[in-house]
Chain A
């Protein structure tokens, strides 16, 4: 079974993340770059499923700047067999439609039984890409899964929806997105880190995937303005002298919040 995991490099959420106010693009150098945690969990799900099914192969697919390669190599150290990295200056600032076209073209080229993605990235937090990819690829998708059982040819999972818990199932090939209820990723061990150095990394551009990133015949979403929100300023701060609760109650009542 061939499993493709989508991963990406994001600015660390434990740092202060910045947008360039002229281009609207993320300032990649401003914060430490890390693998998005949800993508690591997706890789863990793929690796642990692959261990149970003979002849399985886990391939990591990512789209991002060339500088992300070092971060992405961690996925190989964790146990992925191969990295396919779409890196193309022309895709800088790509909207969701273009991103979906490029990723879908790469997924088709690699070939797959199952695609696993995170439900939401921590930077764009769009959450629509999994469904877009499934539609373009013409496969079923099961989103925001909290658990999954994968066997040859079929998967079953659970998800929360509409005030309840849903069990969903589909034949393969298919695409799933997972939530952070999935187990955290394994740490790469020394053996894995050494082995990663010899694993194949394929670099691709949009043109090599047959996607014209300059084409204007499809509508694109564009950023028309970006501004920094004035930072929230601190209001009243009191030290409790035995009446802190009463004072807080007064504040809430005065502001019609209680």
Chain B
């Protein structure tokens, strides 16, 4: 039987419907490699394990545990929590890292409650000191930095998507099939799954490296297309303020802010967004913030690295033209 390094960090790698590691895996394994030896757990469809394991190795997992089961697409959270419990038993890691996605949080919650582990949520980074693993959090919309640690034991840490830039080097992983002991815990059943057809090649808002967001200043659903156009030139995801969502310009899955999606991209472009605290809470940890607004006193300018006071219907088309010209 394989022995796992003393400084193992167990990473739950979520799989996409087609069986590849989810986008969050690179950041999780990158974070794990900074504090110990990354050990990946992937729950895959029968037969899909080896391919998924190789993909985990390419992202830096030195060991990969593969749990092949059909249960994970039939029942919510419990099969993955059972696999994680079996993996943790085997690996005895110093910490467990899970994506702070809806499904990741469910598995983290069930696993932590079952094993009585300390939980640290929505971490933006992890570190190791002489006493163990420390989670770094950015709370109240990035206004405070908080560090947390468990009193003892391995913490379960959910990591904010897109928050960790570190990437681990590709390795040839040691792969092992994992025997999962079913817990028998009651679960909700998945009756139907419909993959949504991808309407554009635009990146997903959550975890995107660049975001272009529009607010009430766009004035109508038709004119919101300007946000889409700039996003496509920059290769960015499309976001919106709550005001734009409430006005019906875009579906609420685009909402950035306290009650929508929190993003920490490299670049955040705010078009016609005043920058209410509620909105800033979801984006002010962006590395670079750019804003265009006709109101020179809009609070968004207080946090913008580059602000243009002007009519966005003049400025944005010129910006698109300039950027497109450079590409040619």
- Residue numbers of A with Cβ under 8 A of B are 13-19, 24, 37-38, 95-97, 100, 119, 122-136, 138-144, 156, 159-170, 174, 180-181, 216, 218-229, 231-232, 234-240, 242-253, 255, 257-258
Contact = CB atoms under 8 A, between A and B. Distances in A.
B186 A139 contact: yes
A229 B150 contact: no
B121 A126 contact: yes
A139 B190 CA distance: 16
A229 B234 contact: no
A14 B242 CA distance: 12
Given A132-B119, A219-B118, A232-B303, 5 more contacts: A132-B110, A167-B192, A180-B259, A223-B147, A245-B316
Contacts of A17: 140-141, 143
Interface residues of B, number: 102
B113 A127 contact: no
Nearest to B106: A131
Most chain A CB atoms below 10 A, which of B102, B109, B193, B303: B109
A222 B148 contact: yes
Contact of A165 (B118, B158, B196, B321): B196
Contact of A229 (B116, B138, B190, B278): B138
Given A142-B76, A239-B309, A163 B16 contact: yes
Contacts of B262: 125
Given A181-B252, A227-B145, A168 B307 contact: no
A224 B188 contact: no
B112 A132 contact: yes
Given A17-B140, A240-B310, A129 B109 contact: yes
8 contacts: A163-B16, A164-B196, A218-B116, A228-B145, A236-B306, A237-B307, A248-B315, A250-B322
Nearest to B109: A131
Contacts of A229: 138, 142-145
Instruction: List the 6 shortest-distance A-B pairs measured between CB atoms, nearest first.
Output: A245-B318, A240-B310, A131-B109, A249-B322, A128-B109, A235-B305
A151 to B, nearest CB: 15
A258 B326 contact: yes
Contacts of B76: 140-143, 168
Nearest to B309: A239
A15 B276 CA distance: 9
Given A165-B194, A237-B304, A232 B284 contact: yes
A252 B107 contact: no
